[in-house]
Amino acid sequence: MSEPNPPPTRVTLDRALSKLGLTSRKQAQLAIQEQRVKVNGRMIDSPGKWVTLGVDRIVVDGAVAKPAEKVYLALHKPRGLVTTRSDEQGRRTVYECLGDFGSWVFPVGRLDRDTSGLLLFTNDTDWSENITAPEKKLEKEYLAKVEGHVGDEALHTLRAGVYLDDGTITLPAKVRIDRQVEKSTWLSIIIVEGKYRQVRRMCEGVGHPVTQLIRLRIGTLVLGKLASGVIRKLTPEEVEKLVPGTTPVAAPRVAVSPKASPPSPGREGGSTRHREAGSALRQTPPAPKPRPTMKSGAGRRRPRRSR
């Protein structure tokens, strides 16, 4: 007996454009408010309009909104970059490392400015949420250099749970000494949650502040020999192992960009006459003086999951 089809997904219009992998919710809200989006033939100016994916016909700039090609990327984040698309203080961001993949992607969790290592990007919101959801308890492995020689009591506390400065206590962690050098200790730390700057706060809580921190693994995916600042696409097998049941969709090429900056002829295969909604919103490198209508990712905020 075949299983019943899952019920259609009902979400707000800005969320629908994000779930399709076409744009961020912030960019979607701007497009809707600019009256560039129609639902079932009617112009909509409210991002909170409820729609049903797969049932309602959504049109952006005269083109039907269809699912974007799913993109899954791994970056060896260097130290000194902040995990955001644009920074109010003018600091360098991880997006400098992405190049032009022709798709809008967001970070899966975060690493703070002084932390290096494995950082994922995608336009698949469901996949991302399965990785960052606290109830999934997905392992994240770090290599931390801390001040001083770590003793048995501190190791026991790190493993059992550390009371943080906000009064919360961390879940049990796997912690071992990797090596000790002069006045420092390298610790291997594996956690299953993602509190703000958690590893740094754990180590500081036992009197051993972190001086260097590297994320080596997320779930089944390891950093390996990926060079600092280099990004690569995940294989379908890697994507599925991280979140079982995920099937990367080989959909038509669709992505995000400001309406004011359409791709020039010859890019992505030439003609832009016949296009789908995503290509009308493609992400392109920012111009020196970008127009304010759909500035890429400006103001976007995602929940912090730094270590």
For residue 99, what pLDDT is reported?
Answer: 83
Q: Which of 56, 61, 87, 112 is catalytic?
A: 112
Q: Which of 61, 73, 64 is nearest to 128 (CA)?
A: 73
The reply to whether 175 and 228 lie within a common domain is no
Q: Judging by beta carbons within 10 Å of its beta carbon (0-12, 13-18, 19+), is residue 86 exposed, middle or buried?
A: middle
CATH of the domain at 14: 3.10.290.10
Q: Which of 214, 218, 253, 254 is nearest to 238 (CA)?
A: 218
> What is the domain range of residue 23?
8-69+249-302
Residue 200 counted as domain residue: yes
Higher pLDDT, 22 or 39: 39
Question: Residue 5 in contact with residue 55, Cβ under 8 Å?
Answer: no
The reply to whether 161 and 184 lie within a common domain is yes
pTM of the shown model:
0.72
In this prediction, residues 139-146 reach a mean pLDDT of: 98
Q: Is residue 40 pLDDT above 80, yes or no?
A: yes
Residue 211 counted as domain residue: yes
The reply to whether 91 and 153 lie within a common domain is no
Q: Judging by beta carbons within 10 Å of its beta carbon (0-12, 13-18, 19+), is residue 138 exposed, middle or buried?
A: buried
Please name the helix (run of DSSP H) or strand (run of DSSP E) that holds residue 27, with its range, or none: helix 25-33
Question: Residue 189 in contact with residue 114, Cβ under 8 Å?
Answer: no
Q: Which of 200, 236, 233, 234 is nearest to 215 (CA)?
A: 200
Residue 266 counted as domain residue: yes
Question: Residue 272 in contact with residue 76, Cβ under 8 Å?
Answer: no
For residue 213, what pLDDT is reported?
Answer: 98
For 7-18, the pLDDT digits (tens) are 678 889 988 888
The reply to whether 255 and 293 lie within a common domain is yes
For 184-218, the pLDDT digits (tens) are 999 999 999 999 999 999 999 999 999 999 999 99
The reply to whether 153 and 185 lie within a common domain is yes
CATH of the domain at 170: 3.30.70.1560
Residue 1 counted as domain residue: no
The reply to whether 158 and 288 lie within a common domain is no
Domain count, the chain: 3
Reply yes or no on whether 112 is catalytic: yes
Please name the helix (run of DSSP H) or strand (run of DSSP E) that holds residue 217, with its range, or none: strand 210-218
The reply to whether 28 and 144 lie within a common domain is no
Q: Which residue has the tokens 């250099």?
A: 145
